[in-house]
Amino acid sequence: MSQQQQQDTTTTTSTTVDEQQQQEDEQLVTPWEVSSKGGIDYNKLIDKFGSTKIEPALIERFERVTGKRAHHFLRRGIFFSHRDLVEILDAYEAGKPFYLYTGRGPSSGSLHFGHLVPFIFTKYLQDVFNVPLVIQMTNDEKYLWKDITLDEALQFTINNVKDIIALGFDIEKTFIFSNVEYIGHLYPNVIKIGKHVTLNQIKGIFGFGDSDACGKFAFPPVQAAPAFADSFPHIFSPTDPATKSIRCLIPCAIDQDPYFRMTRDIAPRLGYPKPSLIHSKFFPALQGHNTKMSASDANSAVYLSDTPQQVKDKVTKHAFSGGRDTKEEQEKYGANLEVDVSYEYLNYFLEDDELLKDIGEKYASGKLLTSQVKQRLVEIMVEINRRHQEARAKVTDDIVKAFMTVRKLNF
Ligand code: TRP
């Protein structure tokens, strides 16, 4: 690119402080809050965070290197952004080791459909790459941020771990840890990170203020530490000098990016490779695309523990419709798929591409009514819940303990 061109692109994408303020007012994405007017603009988010859009060529390379079909979350742009995913594909191709890291803040007794997204995708990646996976349960974070007791946070942890195990993770390759218990093992890396990040940086990245609990300021290094392989000496040899260069890939929703921008920033100074990331969009609330499904608002969420009747009631009553007000108008003008929540949920959970396309075309052209699309969705969600509840009932306390035991993995 010539200098002139470069200047041109900078001029067209640069914004004034006022415009930035306006954008921020219309779209807020932090690890604790997601809101927007008229839906999240993900391209804007990529620009703002400085990540990279996942283009079709990268998906093709993924398929070529792994020899596996890309997951529909990738094909449909649900995982839409990344940082250094190419480095992971290079490592895989060269037979170099790497591992997966994801996590969950246990803030409610059951997972909801939105929580499923990163875990379903992480399980797919674990199967495709056949690599170790560590899952951090941030009960410390939820205790600090939510109005819950520490005992409640610990109780939620076990219940959420059961949900996660029920998704089918391989016990030979998966280590799940509760921060409150595992923190001693993480601590050497937590203080190394803490030594290299200033209070000003924490304030700048996370927006904490002087009257926030000091525990919040201390938390980001705790979420960062698992991105460094030597935080797990029982998995990666502590005596092998190559351990520090083992790469990490973090699948997460894009609201977690601030933690890992910080992590990537200090990684080279501590002698580690920068962790790679693959970001998902937010699973919308039943009420619409302006915010994500949230455990803090029971009406916005369909839980994996919901009964068929509850699923049906929630979807029928609350799922925002892009359809028209009357049957006649719907038949004449069709639905707006862009804002229709039920169609968007089908995009996540109806795997059959042909069927999805057919429903989309018929709904948009008025040949299907909202009630029919909702009925289809309810059938799919009820079936996912039925299977999940069956699998979860088989996860005993002993199995939970086994996944959470500090031990060697086989990979
Ligand atoms: N902070 C995340 C949450 O509130 C939990 C988490 C910890 C996480 N480590 C992670 C999520 C790594 C994704 C990737 O849910």
Amino acid at 69: R
Question: Contact 114/292 with Cβ under 8 angstroms?
Answer: yes
pLDDT tops 90 at residue 13: no
Question: Contact 304/385 with Cβ under 8 angstroms?
Answer: yes
Q: Are residues 187 and 41 in the same domain?
A: yes
Closest residue CA from atom 11 of ligand 1: 103
Whether 107 maps to a domain, the answer reads: yes
Question: Contact 217/242 with Cβ under 8 angstroms?
Answer: no
pLDDT tops 50 at residue 72: yes
Q: Are residues 381 and 260 in the same domain?
A: no
Whether 229 maps to a domain, the answer reads: yes
Closest residue CA from atom 9 of ligand 1: 103
Whether 292 maps to a domain, the answer reads: no
Q: How far apart are CA 211 and CA 234, in angstroms?
A: 39
Range of the domain at 343: 298-393
Q: How far apart are CA 333 and CA 38, in angstroms?
A: 21
pLDDT tops 80 at residue 225: yes
Q: How far is the CA of 280 from the centre of ligand 1 (A)?
A: 13
Task: State the residue for tokens 């807020």.
Answer: 28
Q: Are residues 328 and 274 in the same domain?
A: no
Q: Are residues 155 and 252 in the same domain?
A: yes
CA angle 52, 57, 60 (to 5 degrees): 120
| Number of other CB atoms surrounding residue 407 within 10 Å | 11
Confidence of residue 25 (pLDDT cuts 50, 70, 90): low
H/E stretch holding 102: strand 98-104
Q: Are residues 144 and 197 in the same domain?
A: yes
Closest residue CA from atom 10 of ligand 1: 103
Q: Are residues 278 and 313 in the same domain?
A: no
Phi first, then psi, for residue 99 (nearest 5°) are -140, 165
Whether 47 maps to a domain, the answer reads: yes
> Among 83, 115, 136, which residue has the most ligand 1 atoms within 8 Å of its CB, making it the best to mutate?
136
Per-residue pLDDT reduced to its tens digit, 285-315: 999 988 889 877 777 899 999 999 999 999 9
Q: Are residues 272 and 348 in the same domain?
A: no
Per-residue pLDDT reduced to its tens digit, 326-377: 999 999 999 999 999 999 999 999 999 999 999 999 999 999 999 999 999 9
Q: Specify the 3-state DSSP secondary structure of 36.
A: strand
Confidence of residue 319 (pLDDT cuts 50, 70, 90): very high
Q: How far is the CA of 134 from the centre of ligand 1 (A)?
A: 11
Q: How far apart are CA 335 and CA 361, in angstroms?
A: 10
Residue 223 Cβ inside 6 Å of ligand 1? The answer reads yes
Ligand 1 atom nearest to 142, measured from its CA: 4
Residue 220 Cβ inside 6 Å of ligand 1? The answer reads no
Q: Specify the 3-state DSSP secondary structure of 305.
A: coil
Q: Are residues 307 and 263 in the same domain?
A: no
Residue 257 Cβ inside 6 Å of ligand 1? The answer reads no
Amino acid at 334: G
Q: Are residues 178 and 323 in the same domain?
A: no
Mean pLDDT value of segment 46-67: 97
**Cβ-based burial of 113 (10 A; exposed 0-12, middle 13-18, buried ≥19):** buried
For residue 69, give every residue at least 6 positions away whose Cβ sits within 8 Å of its Cβ, in sequence order, or none.
Answer: 63
Q: Which of 283, 310, 339 is the last residue of a domain?
A: 283
Whether 407 maps to a domain, the answer reads: no
Give the tokens for residue 307: 């009964």
Question: Contact 78/348 with Cβ under 8 angstroms?
Answer: yes
Number of domains in the chain: 2
Residue 138 Cβ inside 6 Å of ligand 1? The answer reads yes
Q: What is the pLDDT of residue 411?
A: 86
- Domain harbouring 150, CATH code: 3.40.50.620
pTM of the model: 0.93
Q: Are residues 259 and 322 in the same domain?
A: no
Q: Are residues 70 and 17 in the same domain?
A: yes
Q: What is the pLDDT of residue 1?
A: 41
Task: State the residue for tokens 């804002």.
Answer: 339
Q: How far is the CA of 262 from the centre of ligand 1 (A)?
A: 14
| Neighbouring-strand partners of residue 28 | 35
For residue 313, give every residue at least 6 positions away whose Cβ sits within 8 Å of its Cβ, in sequence order, or none.
Answer: none
Question: Contact 257/94 with Cβ under 8 angstroms?
Answer: no
Question: Contact 275/267 with Cβ under 8 angstroms?
Answer: yes
Question: Contact 168/123 with Cβ under 8 angstroms?
Answer: yes
Amino acid at 202: I
Q: Are residues 69 and 159 in the same domain?
A: yes
Q: Of 172, 175, 173, 165, nearest to 391 (Cα)?
A: 165
Task: State the residue for tokens 């993924």.
Answer: 62
Amino acid at 204: G
CA angle 199, 202, 208 (to 5 degrees): 100
